[in-house]
Structure 1
């Protein structure tokens, strides 16, 4: 019987892994072509395995997977077999606070994305954010990259309201007027103390999302961070938590506990 042909290779990041046996792992991968997928890495835990040194978080990989079986194509089974993985170079594991930020992105992807739901723009936002997190001298750029990722994630999941109009009237926003964002309705005039951005910033964020360029979205976020950095972070974190419901973000809890120990 002829060997099964391998599926085309694709770029991927390791989001998480689970022990599958004494020698093998189940990996959660984030790919540009197929979104989040689960694969089995047979023998990856063996000391001499060529996979052992590359199946690490935050490293861009070129992976080869087994061709999906008919059962997998019909949705009966989801897990494919990892045939090969090659590190494509570039940034490796971040350190310090950047490591927590990287795991925070991974946790968001794990909790918000269903499997086999591709989001190429979100993949690009993730890929561009990772190296920026590891540059402590460029904190504003790192924060802009995080905000751009959060915005792209919410937009791609259909959880981000229209940002360029007033929710109650659908009128255009006034450039210098301060507005807040309600998770269940959209942009509003603040009726209580809440994080606020000027109308021109909300409009710029919406335009960058529609443009589709990660660089444009990061630039719009960086301008917001310059003028209202804490407000943009607070708005997006509240929106994410609203949609997470009772599910806490473990990485955020760990970071808070670590900061308490250091103070």
Structure 2
């Protein structure tokens, strides 16, 4: 039986397995997304109950060779408190992206480190603008790590280098191309080139966050729209569940 001990991990999702146990979908640094059965986790006396929380770094130990392994222990890894309010929903949104786009048992250590940075940004809750920039950076990294993001320094079909002052649009089936006159959203080549350089940085989430945060307001909206279309296309849905929840909650806010 294969044993893994004290692996850095985050809980992405969990669901009932039996009257007393749950299945935990976890994102680990060295093993990618895995499924674990936490036996007895629903019992009031379980040591798992106060630990298996989302957006908290954990150290997990498990055993087994089946698709669903058996969780042996879970320890809190320390760090920040759990985000609240809109940042909490943003964290659930990031979790949904990983659930939908990551295959099980496929390690993405750089994406794991970027996710850990995102969690710190969300917990700090330094304003809607910074949280939005962090989400755009994370979306780009998820798309790149899963092979769904084209190169951002050339046009996809021609491989021609982008002109800094010309407009370009990211489309679901055609990659990055010159913007058409009727395109509602696009970014100038200089911004795509800056994002391309940021993703190649040793700390890609922080670098891409800084680029996204400096975009003018209209360009921030355009980047969000283009990434949302690409993510929905590859997730196979019209609207992600957490995104719909966020929109529903905003519709109930008092003006």
Regarding TM over 0.5, the answer is yes
The counterpart of 1:92, out of the listed 61, 75, 81, is 81
CA, structure 1 residues 78+232, in 2 after alignment: closer, same or farther (shift >3 Å)? same
Partner of 1:149: 138
Residue in 2 aligned with 1:112? 101
Q: In the TM superposition, what are the counterparts of 1:171-210 in structure 2 within 5 Å?
A: 171-191=160-180, 192-210=182-200
Question: 2:154, 2:161 within 8 Å by CA — same for their partners in 1?
Answer: yes
How many Å apart are 1:166 and its aligned residue? 2.1
Matches within 5 A, 1:43-122: 43-66=40-63, 68=64, 72=65, 77-122=66-111
Gapped runs of 5+ residues in structure 1?
A: none
Q: How many Å apart are 1:90 and its aligned residue?
A: 1.6
Which is worse superposed, 25-34 or 214-223? 214-223
Aligned residues: 252
The whole-number CA distance in structure 1 between the counterparts of 2:243 and 2:229 is 13
Q: CA RMSD in A?
A: 1.9
SS, match of residue 153 in structure 1:
helix
Instruction: Indicate if the aligned counterparts of 1:225 and 1:232 stay in contact, CA closer than 8 A.
Output: no
Q: For 1:258 and 1:167, how far apart are their aligned partners in 2? A: 38
- Counterpart residue number, 1:235: 226
Q: Which moved more, 1:228-237 or 1:165-174?
A: 165-174
TM-score normalized by the length of structure 1: 0.89
Following the alignment from structure 2 to structure 1, what is the Cα–Cα distance between the partners of residues 184 and 151?
18
Unpaired runs of 5+ residues, structure 2, are none
Determine whether 1:18 maps to 2:15.
yes
Give a deviation string over 1:232-259, Cα, whole Å, max 9, x none.
1111111101112236411111111111
- Counterpart of 2:251? 260
The yes-or-no answer on 1:129 pairing with 2:118 is yes
Mapped contact 2:81–2:123 kept (Cα < 8 A)? no
The list of structure 1 runs, each at least 4 consecutive aligned residues, that deviate by more than 6 angstroms after superposition, is none
TM-score with structure 2 setting the length: 0.92
Q: Within 2, Cα distance between the matches of 1:248 and 1:229?
A: 20
**3-state SS in 2 of match to 1:262:** coil
Deviations 1:113-162 (A, max 9, x none): 11101111111111111121234433332222111110011011111111
